[in-house]
């Protein structure tokens, strides 16, 4: 008897499409980030600040993933960069095929950096590749330092963790250094930046990391 | 040709098991809550405060759902109530069958209120019944007032919304009343309590709501 695992099959089909996306991104010399977090950790605000800081240095595009609504894409569109909204219609994550559908709406030849803002969710997005070079996570300090132990896959899959909203630390019963310790305990190689997307504190390190990874932009 | 929708089939099978759970709960005169939120919104802390306030009035049991780890169940166990930890092993939500497996570890005849703390996630848990009487949500003010519009299903499915961490409002660029407005715009009948599980502010209204719904406890 042949048994087909539906879940494995779905993941393998997705991996195949993600690989095709990745090939296309590579042909365009594009650095692609899959940006993940809980709802409300600050993904869109991070993108706004990042675009403000770097859009004169490199071509930036954004794919916004949400269950429904286009509020985030509208915020990003204010920044005068290429942006596409994907509404997953209930699905808890983006996948390779949804990203493929967004290609028609983007001129990849003008981009150096493409950020895919995933659905706010600490579980499902970690399992579905979209064709990214790296996965990056944001964790708000208000979520608590127990999150890496409770949602380890996403922290293990991510190359960079931004610990956000550090301006709120004085008002919480929590120590900032505990977040770094907790993240390193599930992923010893993860790069951690402590930031506030509200005040701008700590963001310079993140911008420098991005500059080093995007390499020589086509714009320059 | 017969086409089988895998997703619909999964949901229907779950509904059937949830219905069996519900029948069993009803036989025991048990009020059952499916408690949902983003990661770190304060589900476990709310439970701790609720148990402290009400455990002399009614028999309380807790089923803790997490991807992995048993930190939450250990916190609840300190309160000297019946608690079971379910590790979903990657799944982004609890389902009826997982709850069924927990029955062997609980003496339902001693309980008036059973709280099922779901996996921290604003998407998947809304689709899978566990046999609950009501779904209840917590939203932390740090997550932003745009969440009802972006994750409407969970807000529509919930009878009560607790807007938590209101002690942080003075440190955020946000108005407390906007959360109530946003929730009511997707679910006009939802009952909203603004609370701080840290300071205790606003929790009395929640406790009274629980008292009214649990009815006459068997302990009294």
Banded model confidence at residue A10, pLDDT cuts 50, 70, 90: confident
Q: What percent helix, strand, coil does chain B show, rounded to 5?
A: 45, 20, 35
Distance from CA of A30 to the nearest CA of B (A): 29
A48, HSE (Cβ side, Cα atoms, 13 Å): 16
Please determine, for residue B3, whether its predicted confidence score (pLDDT) is greater than 60.
no
Q: From the CB of residue B113, how many other CB atoms can be counted at a distance below 10 Å?
A: 25
Contacts of A99 (CB under 8 A, 6+ apart): A18, A21, A63, A86, A116, A130, A131
The CA distances from residue A174 to A63, A145, B88, in Å, are 34, 8, 27
Banded model confidence at residue B220, pLDDT cuts 50, 70, 90: very low
The residue ranges of every structural domain in chain A are: 2-214
Fold (CATH) for A2-214: Rossmann fold (3.40.50)
What mean pLDDT comes out for the span A202-217? 93
Tokens 């219609």 belong to residue: A89
Distance from CA of A215 to the nearest CA of B (A): 34
Q: Which residues of A touch B40 (CB under 8 A)?
A: 38, 140, 142-144, 147
Phi, psi of A189 (to 5 degrees): -95, 0
Return the pLDDT at B9: 79
E-strand ranges in B131-170 read 134-140, 160-164
From B119, B142, B152, residue closest to A40, measured CB to CB:
B142
- Yes or no, beta carbons of B40 and A167 under 8 Å apart: no
Rounded Cα–Cα distance for residues B190 and A40 (Å)? 21
Probe site for chain A from B76, B142, B169 (most A CB atoms < 10 A)? B142
- Yes or no, beta carbons of A92 and B124 under 8 Å apart: yes
- Yes or no, beta carbons of A68 and B122 under 8 Å apart: no
Total-model pTM: 0.91
Angle between helix axes A43-54 and A203-214 (nearest 10 degrees) is: 70
* B37 neighbors A143 (Cβ within 8 angstroms): no
Please determine, for residue A218, whether its predicted confidence score (pLDDT) is greater than 70.
no
pLDDT digits (tens, 9 = 90+) for A11-46: 889 999 999 999 999 999 999 999 999 999 999 999
Q: From the CB of residue B11, how many other CB atoms can be counted at a distance below 10 Å?
A: 15
Rounded Cα–Cα distance for residues B186 and B152 (Å)? 6
Banded model confidence at residue A84, pLDDT cuts 50, 70, 90: very high
Please spell the DSSP secondary structure of A90-152, one letter per residue.
T-SS--HHHHHHHGGG--GGG-SEEEEE--S-SSGGGG---S-SEEEEEEEGGG-TTHHHHSH
Contacts of A188 (CB under 8 A, 6+ apart): none
- Yes or no, beta carbons of B149 and A124 under 8 Å apart: no
Order across the sheet with A160-164: list the strands. Answer: A82-87, A60-66, A113-117, A31-37, A134-140, A160-164, A191-194
Please determine, for residue B178, whether its predicted confidence score (pLDDT) is greater than 80.
yes
Distance from CA of A40 to the nearest CA of B (A): 4
- Yes or no, beta carbons of A142 and B165 under 8 Å apart: yes
From A39, A150, A153, residue closest to B147, measured CB to CB:
A39
What does the buried/exposed string (b/e) look like for B70-105 if buried means 16 or more CB atoms within 10 Å of the residue's CB? ebbbebbeeeebbbbbbbbeebbbbbbbbbbebeee
Return the pLDDT at B5: 60
Contacts of A19 (CB under 8 A, 6+ apart): A131
Return the pLDDT at A8: 72
CA angle B27, B31, B34 (to 5 degrees): 120
What does the buried/exposed string (b/e) look like for A86-120 if buried means 16 or more CB atoms within 10 Å of the residue's CB? bbbeebbbbbbbbbbebeeebebeebbbbbbbbbb
pLDDT digits (tens, 9 = 90+) for B21-64: 999 999 999 999 999 999 999 999 999 999 999 999 999 999 99
Order across the sheet with B134-140: list the strands. Answer: B82-87, B60-66, B113-117, B31-37, B134-140, B160-164, B191-194
- Yes or no, beta carbons of B147 and A92 under 8 Å apart: no
pLDDT digits (tens, 9 = 90+) for B84-136: 999 998 899 999 999 999 988 999 999 999 999 999 999 999 999 999 999 99
- Yes or no, beta carbons of A67 and B151 under 8 Å apart: yes
List the one residue out of B129, B139, B132, B114 whose CA is nearest residue B190: B139
- Yes or no, beta carbons of A67 and B153 under 8 Å apart: yes
pLDDT digits (tens, 9 = 90+) for A45-69: 999 999 999 999 999 999 999 999 9
Q: Which residues of A touch B167 (CB under 8 A)?
A: 171
- Yes or no, beta carbons of A168 and B165 under 8 Å apart: no
Please determine, for residue A220, whether its predicted confidence score (pLDDT) is greater than 50.
no
- Yes or no, beta carbons of A151 and B67 under 8 Å apart: yes
From B69, B124, B143, residue closest to A39, measured CB to CB:
B143
- Yes or no, beta carbons of A142 and B144 under 8 Å apart: no
Strands A31-37 and A134-140, by their bridges, are: parallel
Cβ contacts from A onto B, under 8 A? 106
pLDDT digits (tens, 9 = 90+) for A85-125: 999 988 999 999 999 999 889 999 999 999 999 999 999 99
Please determine, for residue A199, whether its predicted confidence score (pLDDT) is greater than 70.
yes
Banded model confidence at residue B8, pLDDT cuts 50, 70, 90: confident
This complex has an ipTM of 0.87
Distance from CA of A145 to the nearest CA of B (A): 9
Quote the distance between the C-alpha of residue A79 and its chain's center. 18
Probe site for chain A from B42, B92, B118 (most A CB atoms < 10 A)? B92
B16, HSE (Cβ side, Cα atoms, 13 Å): 6
Return the pLDDT at B138: 98
> Phi-psi bin for B200: left (phi > 0), alpha (psi -120 to 50), beta?
left
Which tops the pLDDT comparison, B35 or A1?
B35
Q: What are residue B138's DSSP bridge partners?
A: B37, B162
* B45 neighbors B198 (Cβ within 8 angstroms): yes
């Amino acid at each position: 008897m042949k048994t087909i695992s539906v879940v494995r099959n779905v993941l393998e089909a997705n991996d195949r499409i993600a690989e095709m996306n990745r090939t296309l991104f590579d042909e365009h010399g594009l650095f692609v980030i899959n940006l993940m977090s809980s709802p409300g950790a600050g993904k869109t605000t991070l993108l706004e600040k990042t675009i403000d800081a770097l859009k004169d240095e490199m071509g930036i595009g954004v794919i916004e993933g949400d269950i429904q609504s286009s509020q985030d894409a509208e915020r990003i569109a204010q920044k005068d960069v290429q942006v596409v909204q994907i509404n997953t219609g209930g699905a808890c994550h983006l996948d390779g095929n949804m990203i493929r559908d967004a290609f028609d709406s983007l001129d990849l030849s003008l981009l150096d950096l493409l950020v895919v803002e995933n659905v706010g969710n600490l579980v499902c997005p970690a399992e579905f590749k979209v064709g990214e070079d790296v996965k990056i996570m944001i964790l708000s300090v208000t979520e608590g330092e127990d999150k890496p132990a409770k949602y380890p896959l996403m922290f293990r899959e991510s190359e960079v963790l931004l610990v956000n909203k550090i301006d709120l630390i004085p008002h919480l019963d929590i120590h900032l250094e505990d977040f770094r310790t907790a993240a390193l305990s599930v992923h010893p190689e993860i790069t951690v930046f402590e930031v506030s997307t509200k005040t701008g504190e700590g963001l310079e390190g993140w911008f420098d990391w991005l500059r080093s990874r995007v390499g020589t932009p086509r714009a320059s």
